[in-house]
């Protein structure tokens, strides 16, 4: 459709009327809400949609509910209300599935990179074991196949192969994030969740990891959701941005648009604080 | 006048002594739990582990299982590290005899109940026999999941992948699986059990065994069972099969037997000699050598005397010893 130029010889009947192709979103979460105890409202009625190959950035200050959303999207946490669908995986609300079905979806279709590698990795196991874990849980019972898959993943996340059997404890912060990334993309997930992936890394390593993230996203064409309070990260990775405050979405739109011309007062404050 | 009865009338009669030491309620509970465990092969059934005149860790779990089963007709054998004459085995055997007036034996084939720690006998046991194993740690997932509540969930979901992760780690680090005892095994295709600290050599013997195996942990208060003719599969990778301990063609210095599980006897010179760990079987081999009429008293072993092959062909993918 994009490349079709009007043919001067065509008659009116030949011209296909211009229509908007409505693609189904890969991820569709509606009305997410979560409160802790009586007073803490972590997430308040948030809708999220993301399309195939899209990178959605979620920005906001600490305590704005970004991480809670990510935990819910990773099916680690049940919301109080809301529904969650992943297109082509299961027709229906994922929150209504039981524990083991949710686990299967998490293992096969969702990859996650945490800010703190201690949460995402077994620090004393080998790095390759951390990547293999995902495949083992998915049912692979062949040792050489596990080794190969681990190597492939490490290559994709630009991790030096000669260190793949070192425990993450012995690796630098940037490399630990690469191990997490290798683990997250091991089964070509439909959805990749990144929770502050480069926070705590120094600027040069941050740039390298972001570079890898961008390349991986391009190569496997997965839908990606990046949570960060760092607008630089969002600017570099995200196509679309959601700005959150106090558990609500205050503004959303194309990344360039929102970051260049913020409409909401809070977003303006955020952008200016960054500049 | 009022029909009130005294406390002593209401209470069960105090006999001061109960057959086979445990009171009838305790034995009934144990038998019920054993039946439940038989119905769900490999599932850990909790039970109320009673106080016994031996300390936890010395076989209280196995002893309670034995005491709930033993009768005056039974012939009981007790093994510790393969030996009938070690202090713990002798004590337990004497205790069981004193409280139940059962027969006792050291002959595996003559016994109806074999209580054991660390070993499954070398001779093939039959349908009329019960093997009771003393278990120190019943939870195969303990090494990979420290939260016992979570590991119960994992058993419920049949989520055993992390055990393979343990094998993977060992293969990466040491190029072989280093688990020596309590090698985790899948029972009846459903529950993974820790088969008590028996060596890898003994785990295949539980597969499709004719006898009933009861595994009981007194301190942990858990009991599980491998019923007769039930599959027991040690965990393995498709391309890295489960292997038993290599006995390297060692010969027993007393009986001359080989292809059996050996105890290493270090020598002053720095070298080592070997003895068959199962003492009752070893003595039978010695007796057979002395016989002139050509008959044998030693039973058919699980592992062939000459070739070392396991008696169920094809179960061990890697038959090399």
Please give the average per-residue pLDDT across B53-68, as a whole number. 94
Euclidean distance between CA atoms B271 and B218, whole angstroms: 39
Convert the pLDDT of each residue in B113-159 to its tens digit: 999 989 999 999 999 999 999 999 999 999 888 899 999 999 999 99
Average pLDDT, chain B: 92
B189 vs B196, more confident: B189
Confidence of residue A17 (pLDDT cuts 50, 70, 90): confident
Counts of helices then strands in chain B (DSSP H, E):
7, 12
Among all residues of chain A, which has the CA nearest to that of B175? A143
Residues in chain A within 8 Å Cβ distance of B165: 125, 129, 132-133, 136
Q: Does the beta-carbon distance from B161 to A100 stay under 8 Å? A: no
Average pLDDT, chain A: 88
Q: Where in chain B are the domains? A: 24-234, 262-320
Euclidean distance between CA atoms B1 and B285, whole angstroms: 74
| pLDDT given for residue A18 in this prediction | 75
CATH 3.40.50.11310 fits B24-234, yes or no: yes
| pLDDT given for residue B16 in this prediction | 72
Query: Which secondary-structure segment (H or E) carries A28?
Result: strand A27-36
Euclidean distance between CA atoms A164 and A154, whole angstroms: 8
| pLDDT given for residue A271 in this prediction | 84
Convert the pLDDT of each residue in B168-195 to its tens digit: 999 999 998 988 899 999 999 999 999 9
Q: How many CB pairs under 8 A join A and B?
A: 47
| DSSP 8-state secondary structure symbol assigned to residue A23 | P
CA distance A100 to chain B (A): 7
Confidence of residue B321 (pLDDT cuts 50, 70, 90): very low
Euclidean distance between CA atoms A48 and A73, whole angstroms: 10
Cα dihedral across residues B301, B303, B305, B306: positive or negative: positive
Question: At residue B26, what are phi and psi to the nearest 5 degrees?
Answer: -65, -45
Residues in chain B within 8 Å Cβ distance of A165: 172-173
Convert the pLDDT of each residue in B232-278 to its tens digit: 999 999 999 999 998 888 999 999 999 999 999 999 999 999 999 99
User: Which distant-in-sequence residues (6+ apart) come within 8 Å of B299 by Cβ?
Assistant: B108, B109, B123, B124, B284
**A-side interface with B, Cβ within 8 Å?**
99-100, 103, 125-126, 128-129, 132-133, 136-137, 139, 141-146, 165
Q: Which of A163, A178, A173, A181 is CA-nearest to residue A126?
A: A163
Euclidean distance between CA atoms B196 and A180, whole angstroms: 36
Query: Which secondary-structure segment (H or E) carries B167?
Result: helix B161-174
Q: Which of A181, A183, A192, A138 is CA-nearest to residue A27?
A: A192
- Whose tokens are 């068959």? That residue is B276
Residues in chain A within 8 Å Cβ distance of B168: 129, 132, 136, 143, 146
Convert the pLDDT of each residue in A158-180 to its tens digit: 899 999 999 999 999 889 999 99
Euclidean distance between CA atoms B128 and B113, whole angstroms: 9
CB atoms within 10 A of CB A201: 18
| pLDDT given for residue A274 in this prediction | 57
Please give the average per-residue pLDDT across A144-166, as a whole number. 92
Euclidean distance between CA atoms B198 and B132, whole angstroms: 12
CB A60 within 8 A of CB A244: yes
Q: Which of A261, A258, A214 is CA-nearest to residue A59?
A: A258
């Amino acid at each position: 459709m994009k490349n079709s130029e009007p043919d001067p010889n065509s008659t009116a009947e030949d011209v296909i009327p211009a229509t908007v192709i409505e693609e189904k979103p890969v991820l569709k979460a509606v009305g997410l809400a979560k409160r802790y105890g009586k007073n803490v409202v972590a997430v308040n009625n948030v809708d999220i949609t993301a399309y195939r190959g899209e990178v959605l950035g979620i920005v906001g200050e600490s305590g704005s509910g970004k991480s809670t959303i990510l935990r819910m999207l990773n099916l680690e946490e049940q919301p109080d209300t809301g529904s969650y669908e992943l297109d082509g995986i299961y027709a229906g609300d994922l929150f209504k599935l039981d524990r083991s079905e949710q686990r299967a979806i998490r293992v096969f279709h969702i990859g996650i990179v945490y800010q703190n590698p201690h949460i995402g990795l077994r620090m004393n196991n080998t790095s390759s074991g951390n990547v293999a874990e995902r495949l083992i849980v998915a049912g692979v019972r062949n040792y050489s196949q596990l080794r190969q898959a681990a190597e492939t993943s490490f290559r994709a996340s630009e991790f030096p192969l000669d260190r793949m059997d070192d425990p993450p404890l012995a690796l630098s912060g940037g490399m630990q994030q690469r191990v997490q990334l290798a683990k997250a993309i091991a089964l070509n997930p439909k959805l990749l969740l990144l929770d502050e992936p480069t926070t705590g890394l120094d600027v040069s390593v941050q740039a390298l990891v972001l570079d890898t993230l961008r390349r991986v996203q391009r190569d496997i064409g997965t839908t990606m959701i990046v949570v960060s309070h760092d607008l630089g990260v969002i600017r570099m990775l995200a196509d679309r941005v959601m700005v959150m405050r106090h558990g609500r979405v205050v503004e959303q739109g194309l990344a360039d648009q929102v970051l260049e011309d913020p409409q909401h007062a809070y977003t303006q404050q955020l952008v200016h604080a960054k500049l | 006048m009022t029909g009130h009865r005294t406390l002593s009338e209401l209470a069960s009669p105090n006999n001061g002594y109960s057959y086979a030491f445990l009171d009838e309620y305790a034995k009934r509970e144990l038998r019920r739990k054993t039946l439940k465990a038989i119905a769900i092969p490999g599932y850990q059934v909790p039970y109320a582990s009673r106080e016994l005149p031996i300390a936890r860790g010395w076989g209280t779990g196995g002893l309670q299982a034995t005491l709930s089963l033993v009768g005056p007709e039974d012939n009981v054998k007790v093994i510790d590290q393969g030996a009938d004459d070690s202090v713990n085995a002798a004590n337990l055997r004497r205790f069981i005899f004193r409280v139940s007036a059962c027969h006792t034996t050291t002959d595996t084939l003559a016994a109806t109940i074999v209580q054991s720690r660390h070993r499954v006998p070398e001779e093939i046991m039959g349908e009329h026999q019960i093997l009771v194993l003393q278990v120190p740690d019943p939870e195969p997932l303990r090494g990979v999941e420290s939260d016992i509540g979570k590991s119960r969930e994992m058993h419920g979901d049949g989520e055993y992948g992390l055990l393979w992760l343990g094998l993977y780690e060992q293969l990466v680090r040491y190029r072989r699986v280093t688990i020596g005892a309590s090698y985790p095994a899948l029972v009846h295709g459903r529950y993974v059990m820790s088969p008590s600290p028996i060596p890898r050599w003994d785990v295949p013997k539980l597969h499709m065994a004719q006898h009933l195996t009861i595994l009981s942990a007194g301190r942990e208060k858990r009991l599980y069972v491998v019923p007769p003719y039930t599959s027991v599969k040690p965990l393995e990778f498709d391309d890295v099969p489960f292997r038993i301990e290599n006995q390297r063609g060692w010969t027993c210095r007393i009986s001359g037997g080989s292809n059996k599980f050996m105890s290493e006897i270090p020598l002053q010179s720095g070298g080592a000699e070997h003895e068959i760990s199962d003492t009752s079987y070893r003595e039978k081999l010695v007796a057979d050598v002395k016989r002139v009429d050509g008959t044998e008293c030693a039973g058919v072993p699980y592992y062939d005397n000459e070739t070392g092959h396991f008696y169920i062909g094809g179960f061990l993918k890697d038959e090399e010893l």
